[in-house]
Amino acid sequence: MKKDFAVIGLGRFGGSICKELSDKGMHVLAIDSDETKVNEYKNIAYHAVGLDATDEDALKEIGITNFDHVIVAIGENIQASILAAVILTDLEIRRITVKAQNDYHEKILNRIGVHHVVHPERDMGKRLAHSFISNNILEYLELSNEHSIVEVIAGKKMIGKNLITLDVRAKFGCNIVAIKRGSEIDVSPEADEPLHEGDILIVIGADQDINRFEKAFIFD
Q: How far is the CB of 86 from ligand ATP (least distance, A)?
A: 13
Three-state DSSP at 49 gives: strand
Those residues whose C-beta lies under 8 Å from the C-beta of residue 43, and which sit 6 or more positions away, are none
Q: How far is the CB of 109 from ligand ATP (least distance, A)?
A: 14
- Identify whether the C-beta of residue 85 lies closer than 8 Å to the C-beta of residue 114: yes
Of residues 176, 184, 187, the one with CA closest to residue 210: 176
- For ligand ATP, the nearest residue by Cβ is 75
Report the residue from 6, 29, 75, 109 that binds ligand ATP according to the rule CB under 6 A: 75
Those residues whose C-beta lies under 8 Å from the C-beta of residue 147, and which sit 6 or more positions away, are 204, 205, 206, 207
Q: Is 136 in the site for ligand ATP (CB under 6 A)?
A: no
φ and ψ of 41, to 5 deg = -95, 0
Segment interacting with ligand ATP, rule: CB under 6 A, options 9-17, 123-131, 132-140, 153-161: 9-17
Report the residue from 11, 138, 141, 207 that binds ligand ATP according to the rule CB under 6 A: 11
Segment interacting with ligand ATP, rule: CB under 6 A, options 49-57, 102-110, 149-157, 194-202: 49-57
- Identify whether the C-beta of residue 34 lies closer than 8 Å to the C-beta of residue 11: no
Residue 38, beta-bridge partner list:
none
Identity of the residue, 101 or 136, whose beta carbon is nearer to ligand ATP in the bound complex: 101
Segment interacting with ligand ATP, rule: CB under 6 A, options 8-16, 110-118, 127-135, 171-179: 8-16
For residue 49, the one-letter residue type is: V
Site for ligand ATP in 12-31 (CB under 6 A): 12-14
Classify strands 137-142 and 116-118 as parallel, antiparallel or unpaired.
unpaired
CA 28/CA 25 separation, integer angstroms: 9
CA 209/CA 126 separation, integer angstroms: 18
Identity of the residue, 76 or 146, whose beta carbon is nearer to ligand ATP in the bound complex: 76
Q: How far is the CB of 113 from ligand ATP (least distance, A)?
A: 20
- Identify whether the C-beta of residue 97 lies closer than 8 Å to the C-beta of residue 115: yes
User: Count residues contacting ligand ATP (CB under 6 A)?
Assistant: 20
Report the residue from 74, 85, 93, 152 that binds ligand ATP according to the rule CB under 6 A: 74
Q: Is 34 in the site for ligand ATP (CB under 6 A)?
A: yes
Q: Is 106 in the site for ligand ATP (CB under 6 A)?
A: no
Binding site for ligand ATP (CB under 6 A): 8-14, 32-34, 37, 52-54, 73-77, 80
